């Protein structure tokens, strides 16, 4: 087992979803010290136990102020914080003309505003050269019919991550790294937990274990994006102008590591789309059932 993340302090929000829970376990197996947060209390207890009795906190994705405070909470429990990963998400299906405003609000809140609040709160808390990461999905770049609002919410988050990455690049050597995780359809049952509608025929979902291993590798080696390669399989993309670096350790030299250009892509096993679900029903201002991955 790769131990490059040994001792790194990581908050995984959305840890009660399929992807977030699997990723938390993978990071713990690689020696990271975890704090976990999620919506489902029972699942959260299970994930925390799986990760060495990690500190755990329950939250609602509509409570943006609570999300913004989670990184400070995690840093307090772990002593400091090296990375924050957001794996919160919800999906809905149906043509835009028939999608209720409440559903559109739900998707934009859970898939965009909640991750933004969490990661915005992380930026001033993270240790030098820390990492923020979030799951977007292939629909952010390739919007799909009958998924207009879902696609728009993921595209909004992807745009925000890109802008924040550019801001951080101005900060020099100790800037926070911004990692976007854009995965294809995974075999997690995510579509079956849609807040509205049902999908049409879907291709076989890719392997969840391969996906979370790829994300853990990206956290360890300084990648800034996971996206589909030329053959459709997800790969890690590294910045051209800086050496690869890890939340575990930095490169001793400022010289560029061979192959670490913007378009450099390391082959990886096929994997999947989306982020873990927020299974709570859509709601308006008067209906705030708990929600998050």
pLDDT digits (tens, 9 = 90+) for 6-23: 999 999 999 999 999 999
Where on the phi/psi map is residue 9: left (φ > 0), alpha (ψ -120 to 50), or beta? beta
What pLDDT, on the 0 to 100 scale, is given for residue 250? Answer: 39
Mean pLDDT (the chain, rounded): 84
Residue written as tokens 């690689």? 30
Residue written as tokens 């209906």? 287
Give 67 or 128, the one with higher predicted confidence.
67
Of 187, 188, 214, 226, nearest in space to 203 by CA: 187
Mean pLDDT score, 205-225: 93
pLDDT digits (tens, 9 = 90+) for 101-136: 999 999 999 999 999 999 999 999 998 889 999 999
Query: How many CB atoms are located within 10 Å of the residue 203 CB?
Result: 9
Residue written as tokens 């049952």? 189
Report CA 96 to chain centroid distance, whole Å: 26
Would the pTM count as exceeding 0.85? no
What pLDDT, on the 0 to 100 scale, is given for residue 44? Answer: 98
């Amino acid at each position: 087992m790769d131990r490059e993340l040994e001792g790194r302090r990581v908050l995984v929000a959305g840890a009660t979803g399929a992807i977030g829970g699997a990723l938390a376990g993978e990071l713990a197996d690689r020696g990271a010290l975890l704090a976990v947060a999620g919506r489902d209390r029972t699942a959260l207890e299970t994930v925390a136990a799986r990760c060495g009795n990690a500190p755990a906190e329950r939250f609602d994705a509509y409570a943006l102020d609570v999300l913004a405070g989670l990184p400070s909470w995690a840093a307090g429990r772990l002593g400091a914080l090296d990375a924050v990963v957001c794996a919160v998400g919800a999906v809905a299906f149906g043509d835009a003309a028939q999608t209720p405003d409440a559903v559109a609000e739900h998707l934009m809140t859970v898939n965009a505003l909640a991750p933004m609040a969490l990661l915005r709160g992380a930026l001033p808390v993270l240790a030098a050269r820390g990492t923020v990461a979030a799951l977007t999905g292939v629909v952010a770049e390739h919007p799909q019919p009958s998924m207009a609002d879902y696609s728009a919410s993921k595209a909004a988050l992807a745009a925000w991550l890109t802008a924040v990455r550019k801001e951080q690049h101005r900060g020099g050597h100790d800037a926070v790294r911004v990692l976007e995780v854009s995965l294809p359809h995974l075999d997690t049952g995510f579509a079956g937990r849609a807040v509205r509608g049902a999908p049409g025929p879907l291709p076989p979902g890719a392997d969840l274990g391969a996906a979370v291993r790829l994300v853990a590798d990206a956290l360890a080696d300084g990648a800034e994006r996971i996206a589909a390669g030329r053959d459709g399989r997800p790969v890690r993309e590294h910045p051209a102008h800086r050496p690869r670096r890890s939340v575990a350790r930095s490169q001793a030299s400022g010289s560029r590591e061979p192959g670490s250009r913007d378009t450099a892509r390391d082959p990886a096993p096929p994997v999947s789309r989306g982020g873990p679900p927020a299974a709570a029903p859509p709601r308006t201002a008067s209906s705030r059932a708990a929600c998050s991955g």
